[in-house]
Amino acid sequence: GCIRLPGSKSISNRVLLLAGLSEGCTEVHDLLDSDDTRVMLDALQTLGCTLDHRENGVWAVTGIGGMPAVREASLFLGNAGTAMRPLAAALAVLAALHGGRYAVSGVPRMHERPIGDLVDALRQLGCRIDELGVPGYPPLRLCGSGIDGLAPGRLDTEREIRVRGDVSSQFLTALLLALPLASAERAIHIAVDGELISKPYVEITLNLLARFGIAVQRQGFARFTVPQGSRYRSPGRIHVEADASSAS
């Protein structure tokens, strides 16, 4: 007989977000069907991406090309850390550069999962982030810099952005996924404080970024550079790697 292993959750949600931010349409094959991927799909649709569920479980995602199609939205992300952290980072950057107001929230358990180190890193850039509950945890509101929260502004990309590496690799992943959106004027540098945990997950992020046209330079796992003028481009078709641990 023949069985089909489920796709990786971590890869699935990274691919969906990259496809959603890219120019063009991406055919995503072997996407994991799970609560985490469902909330990411719902979020992308709310943000203006076009989704088409085709035969054999293939999802066709037409992205926004790095420009927000929707300027105000409230996103409920359940308990999906693989959606909450990278979406929060991407929306914070988009809101700051182009204007907008976005709220991200989840189930009560999600509001107990820390996000403060990511928020601190984004604030170094000049992103305006309001913590709507306990400081350092979701829910969050991500706004433009104007008084009404909708006016666009500028980000401080000249200085190095520092993020702790010993809490969660998802914070670094979120920055790596979001910062190409802010690289029009100059390269952006990220420095990791402390020993980075879960290095293989960062490798996954870097490999997927390369598939979507972003060649991040790095010095080991201590310093990363997003090149100037980085733009997300659809690879056309991408297959989500199977996850043996989930299959077991």
pLDDT per residue, tens digit, the chain (248 aa), is 988 888 999 999 999 999 999 999 999 999 999 999 999 999 999 999 999 999 888 999 999 999 999 999 999 999 999 999 999 999 999 999 999 999 999 999 999 999 999 999 999 999 999 999 999 999 999 998 654 545 577 899 999 999 999 999 999 999 999 999 999 999 999 999 999 999 999 999 999 999 999 999 999 999 999 999 999 999 999 999 998 777 77
Angle at Cα 63 formed by Cα 40 and Cα 16, nearest 5°?
30
Find all residues with CB under 8 Å of 150, minimum gap 6, and list them.
71, 72, 99, 100, 101, 143, 144
Any residues with CB less than 8 A from the CB of 219 and at least 6 apart, and which?
A: none
What is the reported pTM? 0.94
Count CA within 13 A, CB hemisphere, residue 210. 10
Q: What does the pLDDT read at residue 147?
A: 44
Instruction: Give whole-number Cα distances, 11 to 138, 158, 205, 241, in Å.
Output: 23, 30, 8, 7
CB half-sphere exposure, 160, CA atoms < 13 A: 10
Q: Strands 101-105 and 72-76: what pairing?
A: parallel
Characterize 44-65 residue by residue with b for buried, 16 or more Cβ atoms within 10 angstroms of its Cβ, and e for exposed.
Answer: beebbbebeeeeeeebebbbbe
Query: Tokens in use for 130?
Result: 């309001």
58 neighbors 87 (Cβ within 8 angstroms):
no
At residue 55, the pLDDT reads 87
